[in-house]
Amino acid sequence: MSGIYARRIAVLAASAALAATTGLLTAPTAQAAMPTPVAASTARTYLSQLTVSAEGSSSGYSRDKFPHWITQSGACNTREVVLKRDGTGVVQDSSCAATSGSWYSEYDGATWTAAADLDIDHMVPLAEAWRSGASGWTTAQRQSFANDLTRPQLIAVTDNVNQSKSDQDPGEWLPSRVAYRCTYARAWVHVKHYYGLSVDTTEKSALQSVLNGC
């Protein structure tokens, strides 16, 4: 009797394992995303700690002073790593270029199936960082900032939306998708706080307004 019972348990366990495996194979793939920014409460604290000063000059700024899309591993550069991370079912060729996949743009709610339709946005734009303190950094520090995969600084979004944002701060531009503004403000403050960048009064006011509604 005990042998039959044991065999029944084994059959049930095998069936459960098969069902679990089948579920894993048929379940939709969850989309990855940029690193989660600090909570709204922490962001409010961080914002209160940031230096408030008039925005600096763009004099001397060049994107070349922020070496970006550096090699991360093998043939993959930072852009390709983010495209793979932020997409669903992304297929890459031998040179690491995304040949197919699906991407949801958090800024405007659009979905794209061609990597060419996506830009990798720097949450805190390079020129904005330059005017907020990065002009005094070393090239190595600026390179780390421009390729930061650890903080919520890089995200794949609709290309023309990223271009409309340009180098504007939250006092001048926020995502049209209102549901994402809280995450956006949390990420912006997280990055600025980590890198010790300043905020201007209009920027700080806009961030406070968003974070108070989170």
Measured distance CA(166)–CA(127) in Å, rounded = 9
Average pLDDT, the chain: 88
Q: What is the pLDDT of residue 107?
A: 98
Q: What is the pTM of this model?
A: 0.85
* Burial class, 154, CB count within 10 angstroms (exposed 0-12 / middle 13-18 / buried 19+): buried
Q: Are 85 and 91 in contact (CB under 8 A)?
A: no
- Whether 6 shows a pLDDT value over 90: the answer reads no
Residue 81, amino acid: V
- Whether 24 shows a pLDDT value over 80: the answer reads no
Q: Are 171 and 205 in contact (CB under 8 A)?
A: yes
Radius of gyration over every alpha carbon of the chain, rounded to an integer in angstroms? 22
pLDDT band at 20 (very low <50, low <70, confident <90, very high): very low
* Phi, psi for residue 91 in degrees, rounded to 5: -110, 130
Four-residue CA torsion sign, 128, 107, 113, 27:
positive
Q: What is the pLDDT of residue 33?
A: 86
